[in-house]
Structure 1
Amino acid sequence: MKKLNIIAILATLAVVGCKETKKNQESPALDSEIQYGATIDPPEAQEEGISIAPIEHATVVLEWNDLTIYVDPVGGAEAFEGQNDPDLILITDIHGDHFNLETLEALNTKKAKIIVPQAVADKMPDTFAPQIDVLDNGDSKERFGITVEAIPMYNLREEAKQFHEKGRGNGYVLNMGDQRVYFSGDTEDIPEMRNLENIDIAFVCMNLPYTMTVKSAADAVLEFKPDQVYPYHYRGKPDVSDVNEFKSLVNSGNSNIEVVQLDWYPNESY
């Protein structure tokens, strides 16, 4: 059975027993507000625990087996105060809410490997070259016992294709022990997402006009059936996507999928 512990915006996932037992549990009821500063089902034991710290928007820190993973680090070094220095950094795309060179230069990344698509590598100075692994869509790389798969991310709607063209950016699946963790990056509900298999934790974007609607995101999640899904990257222009609606759509279609709402915008009120 998998249980989640969230303490002061640090979410700790513990895996105890088999995946099938967890899927047979009843899904939690729809919450009217985002979960933060609360403790939910503290684990009795912890095996291959993954700690999840939402930083903001698309930026997140994972802790696993004494390793620290930064995904799309932006916001300057101050955004990562209190976090361990990264061992592995994943960057999905060239846009400023995913790639910020000043943040990378301000952080202590001396021990880190940095996995990026070619478009991001082209924007990084030579000083980072020894640390960089370039992955194209469909490639994979093992670092620190984590196998990282590069998944396509792109827009489908004609009016949105200008934002994310196919082949430029990467979503990622991280194989961490017996856990598979998916980060969508900026994408719509593309076939490559819908065809994902055996995903334990999924981080799925939903914001217009850049990515996809709440309904499209929920529909894709219901197709690839992750055990847990975290709506993230949901601030658009000018609107903010309704993550409660997303949770309702997912759980009405499949009550076995746990939707976890974290506070990705702690410095903003809506």
Structure 2
Amino acid sequence: MSEISVTWWGHSTTWLADSGTTLLTDPLMTDRLFHLRRALGDRPTLPTAPDAVLISHLHADHFHLPSLKAVPGEAQLIVPRGAAAFVAKGLGRGYADRCVELVPGEKTTVGELTVHAVPAAHDGGRGAWSRMRSEAMGFIVEGAGRTWFGGDTGLFDAMSGFGPLDLALIPVGGWGPTLGAEGHLDAEDGAEALRRVKAAWAVPVHYGTFWPMGMGRIRPYMFSGPGKEFARHAAKLAPGAEVRVLAHGETLTIEPAA
């Protein structure tokens, strides 16, 4: 039987393999980003060049140009609509020519996989300093099974239509000692998202990696705790799901439902 495997490299960076095709999500392959430092885990060590890179939205901790440049090979870049011009300006026309722009509701094919862009409840701007905006999104990857990568999102009603899924990669935290009420999931809301999407397996992401410099002692539970808290809440809210809290660089392999 075909298998799906996912390796978590910290924050929202995962390596997803399905049906002989490999995808890299929201690569952040550096030790520093603005005022943030990689406080746990090593930089991603990719086993090979991916077939495609999925970029969920424009925020710099998800759409990081130096990290895209560090990805080996010439992967297809699946990005929010309008972002190819940003890639061309930052990395050159060769990178922009590899971009496939999507908005939620659209899809593309990578090898044996179909990649669907799906909605996300999250701010779509690059940042307060930039006028660049696009619609934030997640992805459902269909191959041997169905995997949802949430990107960064809050709860929203339409996610109940995503399932059933074999695997959900769910953001459950952030990179600082506070987490905005809108546009993000904490551990409990992440468990509610798992209940809504009806996934057989879940891996928590988007926590436990980057932290503001000089703030290591401020609310440390928001750094290290979300993964285990997500598993605890999921046992109550989505008792039929299996949750695996991965260490950085650890891989989960599952057999999708027939």
The equivalent residue for 2:96 is: 129
Aligned 8 A contact 1:59 1:70 in 2: yes
The equivalent residue for 2:80 is: 117
| Structure 2 residues without counterparts, runs of 5 or longer | 32-41, 174-178, 213-218, 251-258
User: Aligned ranges for residues 1-270 of structure 1 at < 5 Å?
Assistant: 47-76=1-30, 79-110=43-74, 112-125=75-88, 126-155=93-122, 168-177=135-144, 179-207=145-173, 208-209=179-180, 211-235=184-208, 239-240=222-223, 241-264=225-248
TM-score for the superposition, normalised by structure 1 = 0.70
SS of 2:115 mapped into structure 1:
strand
Superposed displacement of residue 205, structure 1: 0.7
Superposed displacement of residue 186, structure 1: 0.8
Aligned 8 A contact 1:154 1:167 in 2: no
Runs of 4+ in 1 over 4 A off after TM superposition: 235-238
Aligned 8 A contact 2:82 2:101 in 1: no
Question: Kindly tell me: are residues 155 and 80 of structure 1, through their superposed partners in 2, closer, same or farther at Cα, counting changes over 3 Å?
Answer: closer
Aligned 8 A contact 2:146 2:167 in 1: yes
Superposed displacement of residue 76, structure 1: 4.6
Name the aligned partner's letter for residue 187 of structure 2: V
Aligned 8 A contact 1:201 1:227 in 2: yes
Identity of aligned residues (%): 25
Map Cα deviations across residues 93-149 of structure 1 (whole Å, 9 max, x no partner).
111221111122232232x21111125323201222321111111111122121111
Superposed displacement of residue 255, structure 1: 2.4
| Structure 1 residues without counterparts, runs of 5 or longer | 1-46, 157-161
Distance in 1 between residues matched to 2:198 and 2:20, nearest whole Å? 29
TM-score for the superposition, normalised by structure 2 = 0.73
Distance in 2 between residues matched to 1:130 and 1:141, nearest whole Å? 15
Distance in 1 between residues matched to 2:227 and 2:45, nearest whole Å? 27
Q: Which has the higher contact order (CA 8 A, sep 6+)?
A: 2
Distance in 1 between residues matched to 2:237 and 2:201, nearest whole Å? 14
Question: Kindly tell me: are residues 83 and 154 of structure 1, through their superposed partners in 2, closer, same or farther at Cα, counting changes over 3 Å?
Answer: same
SS of 1:141 mapped into structure 2:
strand
The farther-off stretch of 138-147 and 62-71 is 62-71
